[in-house]
Structure 1
């Protein structure tokens, strides 16, 4: 799943003992030499000619991408529509299930297609960007960075006041996290497998647990926490991003993935995103969803 992909980035790239110089541990991968045309997506000219572009987005991933009244909604959906408008084509969306890791998702939806009945989409949104990924997954062009996400803490202001808790508080105070997530891993590593860490099936459920009084805080990706606060406007909840001691990867860049054969499409999509960053279009999308926007490193 995506949270496991982020966990791999955190423990395999950024923490002491797991880091490499860029591409130091890289072993070239075999190219997909004999892949049929329908399995590697459409080129840019065909997209323009046919008048539509398909984006692969994660299903059930509010506030980023989800279904609302039978239609796709979320920040990533709006960013896809923004890109399509810039290209002068119609945006179509394919809500996909997250696999065991990011490599599997990119194989299934970007550069090859699943082994049984699989096909790729033109663009995949919400792809975490890291230089190690660029080295390791040669069949994908990583580009179009459009936001930065970070780990944060939601809390009840009545319990902590305006300052808010930091991770060491959770040696004593109950905290909600998504099971097997980057926040779960971090807290378990920092303070041990204590019974104060309450695990939920999702970050959204963790915030619901906080709002219901089961815990005093919740920890996870800031956008997901802020979306949870919007569901509980009368809960007296706040979010902050305190320093995370011993955590080298508390934030990450979000971008897109495109089949490596379609460089012209990658350039066009990146230009559309760069323009939307410059004119405030992407910032306005975040504001419309009540989310904090942090520009990406590009």
Structure 2
């Protein structure tokens, strides 16, 4: 076979494979969400949690699933008398992408979706966000069951800073943030960018905390529960790490409630899970879980109103 014929044959094979792939994408059936009856009849429930996201969901050195979301998922499965199957999510570019990939459509590389997704904002403004065409972005998603309140905080090394009474102190001391997070955007712009040169970026807050211990940074901005978990479970040496109550001027939202999401067609499943989570939140179970990870429990606003 000549070189020309070999190239031509390879090109034809490439075209054939490409056609097969696109055909599968176009004609493969969409991922199907499961109703409450389907879930109960199957004997298991699949709950999606984020991969390597302590203290919410991660695996320890022995490969055992740990975390606040994991333990709550285990409780849900136990209450339903079902086997728990965890679906470990790798975050996509946006939360909208995660909801599409794991709740209502499925990723194009694997069409399956979970029955439930954990750690979704319980927020009407987010739920009804629209795209450039005025369409609701997540109209196929039902968000429900708040089980924890989260809050942005700044933690600091008391060996380097006597106090942190005002955020302006960080104009003179390096502060760590997770790359592309809200604290990253916020500190780069607050006070007309006066802190920008002091912001240090890390892919993982565990690396940021290690940098704090090595005196490479003096403070970290992140979620309260993550900072508390780091100070209890990630110390490599004695550290006087404190959470500041410093005001965060011009921050649009200081705290928010965290809940779950299911496909919008299956509200019955959401109602059942919502009842389980409400009892766990108001009767102290979630507080017991968070305490095991060194995290202070903040009750969602929904239950404060009903009490």
Same-fold status (TM-score > 0.5): yes
- Higher radius of gyration, 1 or 2: 2
Q: Distance in 2 between matches of 1:64 and 1:74?
A: 4
Correspondence for 1:266 among 270, 275, 298: 270
Deviation at 1:98? Answer: 0.2
Deviation at 1:35? Answer: 9.3
1:54 aligns with 2:49: no
Q: Secondary structure at the match of 1:124?
A: strand
Q: What TM-score do the two structures reach when normalised by structure 1? A: 0.84
Q: Distance in 2 between matches of 1:282 and 1:101?
A: 27
1:54-94 deviation digits (Å, cap 9, x = unpaired) = 11111011111111222221110011111112222122211
1:83-119 deviation digits (Å, cap 9, x = unpaired) = 1122221222111100000111001000111122221
2:196 matched residue in structure 1: 194
Runs of 4+ aligned residues of structure 1 deviating over 4 Å after TM superposition are none
Q: How does 1:1-298 map to 2 (within 5 A)?
A: 36=29, 39-68=31-60, 69-135=62-128, 136=136, 137-161=138-162, 163-191=163-191, 192=193, 194-230=196-232, 231-232=234-235, 234-298=238-302
RMSD: 1.8
**Alignment gaps of 5+ in structure 1:** 1-33
Q: Secondary structure at the match of 1:160?
A: coil
1:133-152 deviation digits (Å, cap 9, x = unpaired) = 32231100100111111111
Deviation at 1:178? Answer: 1.0
- Conservation of the 8 A alpha-carbon contact between 2:189 and 2:196: no
Q: Distance in 1 between matches of 2:245 and 2:111?
A: 40
Q: Secondary structure at the match of 2:160?
A: helix
1:16-41 deviation digits (Å, cap 9, x = unpaired) = xxxxxxxxxxxxxxxxxx995x7122
Q: Count residues in correspondence.
A: 263
Q: Distance in 1 between matches of 2:298 and 2:166?
A: 21
Q: Distance in 1 between matches of 2:185 and 2:100?
A: 26
**Alignment gaps of 5+ in structure 2:** 1-26, 129-135, 303-307
Q: Distance in 2 between matches of 1:166 and 1:119?
A: 48
Q: What TM-score do the two structures reach when normalised by structure 2? A: 0.81
